[in-house]
Structure 1
Amino acid sequence: MAILQPASDKRRAFDLDLPQRLVGLLDAASERHGRAVLLLVAVALIAFLPGFFNLSPIDRDEARFAQATKQMLESGNYVDIRFHTQARHKKPIGIYWLQAASVKAGEAVIGPSARASIWLYRLPSLFAAIGAVLLTYWTALVFLSRRGALFAALMMAGCVLLGVEARLAKTDAVLLFTVIATFGALARAYVRPPEARQGDLTLALIFWTALAAGILVKGPVAPLFVGPAIAALAIADRSGGFLRPLKPLLGLAWCLLLVLPWFVAIYIVTDGAFYQHAVGVDMMGKVAEGAEGHWGPPGTYFLAAWGTFWPSIVVAAMAVPYVWRNRRETAVRFLLCWLVPSWVIFEIAVTKLPHYVLPVYPALAILSALAIERGGLARAGSRLAGFVWFWPGFAVAVSLALGGAYLYFGSGFGLAAWPLLLLGVVLLWWAARSFPRVGIEGAFLTALAGALLLYLAAWQVMLPQMRALWISERLAAVVRQQGCPAAQVASFPYQEPSLVFLVGTQINYGLPNEAAALLKKGGCALAFIDERFTPAFEKHANALALKYHAVATISGFTYNGGRPTSITVFRSDEAGS
């Protein structure tokens, strides 16, 4: 006769089952580098692909980058950077070249429609984000076992902020990739004993090429992460001898050889205007004042990290006591010199944007994995157990916010998303509940599985269906339906960069009187007029004796302006000249 298992024992076995299976997967994947890489790529794709293809262009940065690349392809000018009718002298050329190469490859496969496909402009960010996860693994191998390095890289793969940047056609995922590559090479040079610090051409090539790529992508920002770290290490060691394997003089010459041609060319083409705006206005403005309203006091990034580095921030918080106790140990010292100086610099800077500190998150992940591998979290025990309840707490808050936003901005009830959100929250609750019995590794891996479900619900199902947010996409659909060329379309005051990208470079951004004058020319012509300015448009139209009619009204919410809007699309009834 079978012996009945007590209900409490069954419940305990159920609680342990999934975390233990996930730890077993971690163990199996860490047996070989190939398996580890396959697991990391698979998790990164699960984390980054939802919404990648069907999410509309995001205003304003992504749409500006994509449109500037689009105009580069249209004009054939791969030196100067233009957005619509204006010069875009903010960031160097690197990201535009990468996006242009991606779109050109797309044109070879899917034809001319590639230029209007935002996902092709996002591919460099996606590949760079996956590469950043793999480079975190490569860098962590300097200090950790294969298993610990794999765990650190999984922490990066699940990071909220990296998932956001992987889906946006802008610079930050690519910058992260280049910065981690430099630190991976620097770490290998740093841990060498003094007697083995001869020049290493391979390490030097990786370090200086990655630094040059970072400069071409985001100017002085890449050195802003690497330089303070090197200075801090040199101060801590009272020596800069660890740089010898990187061949500083030869490497610096190689770096300059890679970056100077474009920087000289853009100076000539713009007569120095690029530097006046990029350095004098854009960069210095962000340091001295809150550019575009993105101001924040010191401590902003510390608070933001609880959301942007979630769910990994829980592990990082629990690792703090171990890191502090062992701050003089070689691995911890290196990682702190990567993390702390740059973080302090960005906390001091007046302009605050969450993605600015993304390149130091790998150091947080590796420090956390180091603490786990060396038993630092086990020693902390129950004192830190309360942190794990931040996993389900944050998930519930985000799910409620997403659900409310979907009900307000979306269409229908979105039945497909709710089971995913619920299951994700359950897994995160399960992770917190099982932590005392399975330890931090099993608990985190369970939390990561729950987070992936939340990302799937948010990015793939909910955000694309919040139709009220995607005004440009809906206006562009009207243009396609009416069959009018972009040069015969005017818009006021809604003039978001995404509208230029989706409708066409020749779209006209002007005042209501200019929109009325455009329609008076006749032919297939459209005007997008916000309801607040419809009386002004009608006044000018009457003065011109314009014949026109309304073909659609697009109501929605401008997430940049933070207000509801209603835009009427007027079509000319005038005969073409």
Structure 2
Amino acid sequence: MDAPDPTTDTAMTGADPAEAAGRRLPWREAALIGLLALSLNLAGNGRASLWDRDEPRYAGCTREMRQSGDLINPTFNAEPRYHKPVLIYWLMLAGTALGGDNPFGARLVSSVAGMGVCLMTWALGRRLFGPKEGRWAALALATAPIMVAESKLATTDATLLVWFVGAQWAIWELSQKPSRLATAAFWSCMALSVLTKGPVGPALIVAASGLTWWFGGPTLGYRRLLAPLWPDASGLDEGLRFREAIARGGIAGLFSSAITAVELTARVAGRWLASNWGVLLFLAIALPWYVAIGIASEGAFFSVAWGYHVIKRATESIETHGGFPGYYVALTIPLLYPWSALLPAGIAGLWRRRKASMAAAFVLGWIVGPLLLLEVARTKIIHYYLPAYPACALVVGWLVVALSRSEVNLRRWTLGGTSLGLLAGLGVALTVGSLAGAVAFPGGLRWSCLAFSAVVGVGTFYAVERLRGGSAERAASALVGSWAAALLIFGAAFLPSVEPYRLPQKVAAALDEVEREEGAVPVLASFKPPGIVYSIGHPVPELLGRAGADLMARREGPLVSALLPVEVEALRQHPRLEVEERGTIRGFNIERFKNEELTLAVIRPKPGSISPDGGPAPSVARGRRVEGRGAEPTLVE
């Protein structure tokens, strides 16, 4: 059964006169929302090392860019890294300048970007629906696990989200009235998104725009952006003059016709340039670096970044990142919880009102368009759908206020029972799972899990009871408070407590110690997560087979590496090498999600042995491998 319809124009637009004061003086509210988001995003960032694989690569590229002074060509471990465009490294240079060359500084850009997205959602929600809707949307997004997680990672996704939300906001403003500021904002955001993650941002904008149009949403904003792209010769008199010149004939006619054609072309081109200054702004921002990297890399950047990481990811399932139909819908439920539980009722409510409300159709297109595009792509990763989550938060904000105004039980809404069931069921599962972790995990992990379980359990129980009683805003307040506390516990206590058990950090510390005390050169073998390179602080070569180990040891002197047992045995069988075991390193390998055991070994040439060719060893694993182009040989040949 549906609720009594609260969706008059007041409910949909927030035009309640009693809320006028909230529209005039919103800055205190904005400051509090920003402070909440930034606190959750920063909590524990300096006490938890970078998580393999992507974080160390981005942070390592930033460090090498600073050391080399080359702001065009990103490298990691002294090798070209053409995974993503350059803007994230420039921003992380600023972040590390402010926060230090450490995990806190590397993550600072994402943390600030995550806060910015929450504030933009707050402001856009006020424009779409009203002040209260904007407030609850921002609070929901600020306390969503996926949003906090991406804002705590030194990667591109939180930064890309700023540009995407900014572009959507500009489109909405242009649908209301012409605006040079909104036009400049749209094209600037598109250029910055292309400098952050290639064509992903524009593709998602097109997908969202298409579904917004299909749902009957505002299209005037798109027309104001696209209409100037077509040349316009209306009102010019060169056409008449051109026909008169042809009619005269002869050499004079031909000369006059040519002059008229040039003049017409120049005037049409000038009119086009004047009306498409936004496109020129886009090109002025994005094009220079792309030209520079194309020249510097001799085209290799485009074959890797666009050919492999865009086209191939869209058409093939690479790096075991496949997915089933409905992958993003299924993962949104836990990643956006507890707010994902309210989406079925909220989306159903907005769907019924999409023809009466442009804002409803706009938000629904924002949710469904990227979903359909990403479902078609073969490679699926959980954070790809992140650009749609601010729209999901807007749905939640609208639902909380609509429920509050209607003063009815959520069960009376379409799919309201489903929403309550998801909220209660997943809350119980999380509470029980955290209690199990408190029993199974050691030390500080145990107490973190216990505290997490308590706040989630109490907050969920109270919220479910309030929703059943028709007190939607009290329920939302309980969820905001409990999940803010839970995410603070997770970031400030749980993640730092994991550090003693992480294998890459143990390996890096052991290699660094032997290097400092004995001068042995750290090298990588089969176990080579990027976090080792970042933690050691300089490029680390890779062993290319036993022959490569022999040549490198003769050229560089003693080597130190963390080896699998089979690699230790393979090196022992080499006639010109001796292997000295220095102990065992045990820890948790996050890439394989299991505990592993490695042997710390020092590798030296046997005294008196002679290399077969007697020549110098070649340079090993530096400036040679381009990411995404094949694997290297291991020690086991």
Structure 2 CA distance for partners of 1:539 and 1:275, relative to 1, 3 Å: same
Name the counterpart of 2:447: 415
Q: Which residue of the other structure, out of 64, 67, 72, is the alignment partner of 2:60?
A: 67
Distance in 1 (alpha carbons) for counterparts of 2:174 and 2:24:
26
Q: Which residue of the other structure, out of 316, 319, 326, is the alignment partner of 2:353?
A: 326
Name the counterpart of 1:294: 321
Structure 2 residue 35 is the aligned partner of structure 1 residue 42: yes
1:127-206 pair list within 5 angstroms = 127-190=112-175, 192=176, 197-198=177-178, 200-206=179-185
1:120-131 pair list within 5 angstroms = 120-131=105-116
Structure 2 residue 555 is the aligned partner of structure 1 residue 489: no
Distance in 2 (alpha carbons) for counterparts of 1:27 and 1:49:
34
Q: Which amino acid aligns with 1:339?
A: I
Distance in 1 (alpha carbons) for counterparts of 2:442 and 2:541:
29
The higher radius of gyration belongs to 2
Name the counterpart of 1:504: 537
Name the counterpart of 1:472: 504
Name the counterpart of 1:551: 582
Deviation at 1:344, TM superposition (A): 0.7
**Counterpart secondary structure, 2:291:** helix
Name the counterpart of 2:75: 82
Q: 1:491 touches 1:509 (CA, 8 Å); kept in 2?
A: yes
Name the counterpart of 1:350: 378
Structure 2 CA distance for partners of 1:537 and 1:322, relative to 1, 3 Å: same
Structure 2 residue 315 is the aligned partner of structure 1 residue 278: no
Q: 2:120 touches 2:166 (CA, 8 Å); kept in 1?
A: yes
Deviation at 1:163, TM superposition (A): 0.9
Distance in 1 (alpha carbons) for counterparts of 2:20 and 2:140:
16
Q: Which residue of the other structure, out of 253, 256, 275, is the alignment partner of 2:280?
A: 253
Distance in 2 (alpha carbons) for counterparts of 1:239 and 1:310:
30
Q: Which amino acid aligns with 2:277?
A: L
Distance in 2 (alpha carbons) for counterparts of 1:469 and 1:259:
43
Distance in 1 (alpha carbons) for counterparts of 2:21 and 2:464:
24
Q: Which deviates more from structure 2 when the two are superposed, residues 466-475 or residues 124-133?
A: 466-475
Distance in 2 (alpha carbons) for counterparts of 1:537 and 1:575:
12
1:439-478 pair list within 5 angstroms = 439-467=471-499, 470-478=502-510
Q: Which residue of the other structure, out of 178, 202, 219, is the alignment partner of 2:198?
A: 219
Deviation by residue 1:546-565 (Cα, 9 ceiling, x = unmatched)? 3x543332112322123331
**Counterpart secondary structure, 2:361:** helix
Q: Which deviates more from structure 2 when the two are superposed, residues 558-567 or residues 296-305?
A: 558-567
Q: Which amino acid aligns with 1:95?
A: I
In the alignment of these two chains, the number of paired residues is 535
**Counterpart secondary structure, 2:471:** helix
Deviation at 1:434, TM superposition (A): 2.6
Deviation at 1:318, TM superposition (A): 1.9
Q: 1:491 touches 1:515 (CA, 8 Å); kept in 2?
A: no
Deviation by residue 1:326-345 (Cα, 9 ceiling, x = unmatched)? 12121111112222222111
Q: 1:319 touches 1:377 (CA, 8 Å); kept in 2?
A: no
Name the counterpart of 2:93: 100
What's the RMSD between the two structures over aligned residues?
3.1
Deviation by residue 1:387-441 (Cα, 9 ceiling, x = unmatched)? 2353353244345545656766755663354234323322222211232225222
Instruction: Point out where structure 2 has 5 or more consecutive residues left out of the alignment.
Output: 1-18, 229-275, 609-637
Q: 1:64 touches 1:83 (CA, 8 Å); kept in 2?
A: yes
Structure 2 CA distance for partners of 1:506 and 1:73, relative to 1, 3 Å: same
Q: Which amino acid aligns with 2:581?
A: A
Q: 1:138 touches 1:184 (CA, 8 Å); kept in 2?
A: no
Name the counterpart of 1:15: none
Q: Which amino acid aligns with 1:439?
A: S
Q: 2:438 touches 2:447 (CA, 8 Å); kept in 1?
A: no
Q: Which residue of the other structure, out of 420, 425, 438, is the alignment partner of 1:393?
A: 425
Structure 2 CA distance for partners of 1:412 and 1:133, relative to 1, 3 Å: closer
**Counterpart secondary structure, 2:447:** coil
**Counterpart secondary structure, 1:292:** coil
Q: Which residue of the other structure, out of 368, 382, 401, is the alignment partner of 1:373?
A: 401
Q: Which residue of the other structure, out of 219, 242, 249, is the alignment partner of 2:221?
A: 242
Distance in 2 (alpha carbons) for counterparts of 1:233 and 1:493:
49
Name the counterpart of 2:243: none
Q: 2:167 touches 2:189 (CA, 8 Å); kept in 1?
A: yes
Structure 2 CA distance for partners of 1:576 and 1:404, relative to 1, 3 Å: farther
Deviation by residue 1:193-215 (Cα, 9 ceiling, x = unmatched)? xxxx44x2211222211111111
Distance in 1 (alpha carbons) for counterparts of 2:420 and 2:598:
47
Deviation at 1:71, TM superposition (A): 1.7
**Counterpart secondary structure, 2:469:** helix
Q: Which amino acid aligns with 1:104?
A: A
Distance in 2 (alpha carbons) for counterparts of 1:223 and 1:87:
26
Q: 2:351 touches 2:364 (CA, 8 Å); kept in 1?
A: no
Q: Which amino acid aligns with 2:379?
A: T
Q: Which residue of the other structure, out of 563, 566, 572, is the alignment partner of 2:597?
A: 566
**Counterpart secondary structure, 1:564:** strand
Name the counterpart of 1:312: 339
TM-score by length of 1: 0.85
Q: 1:392 touches 1:425 (CA, 8 Å); kept in 2?
A: no
Structure 2 CA distance for partners of 1:53 and 1:314, relative to 1, 3 Å: same
Q: Which amino acid aligns with 2:489?
A: A
Deviation at 1:174, TM superposition (A): 0.4
Distance in 1 (alpha carbons) for counterparts of 2:327 and 2:22:
37
Q: 2:367 touches 2:392 (CA, 8 Å); kept in 1?
A: yes
Distance in 2 (alpha carbons) for counterparts of 1:568 and 1:406:
31
Distance in 2 (alpha carbons) for counterparts of 1:275 and 1:95:
17
Q: Which amino acid aligns with 2:543?
A: G
Instruction: Point out where structure 1 has 5 or more consecutive residues left out of the alignment.
Output: 1-25, 107-113
Name the counterpart of 1:91: 84
Aligned-pair identity in percent equals 25
**Counterpart secondary structure, 2:539:** coil
Distance in 1 (alpha carbons) for counterparts of 2:443 and 2:388:
39
Distance in 2 (alpha carbons) for counterparts of 1:30 and 1:52:
35
Structure 2 CA distance for partners of 1:239 and 1:45, relative to 1, 3 Å: closer
Deviation at 1:261, TM superposition (A): 0.2
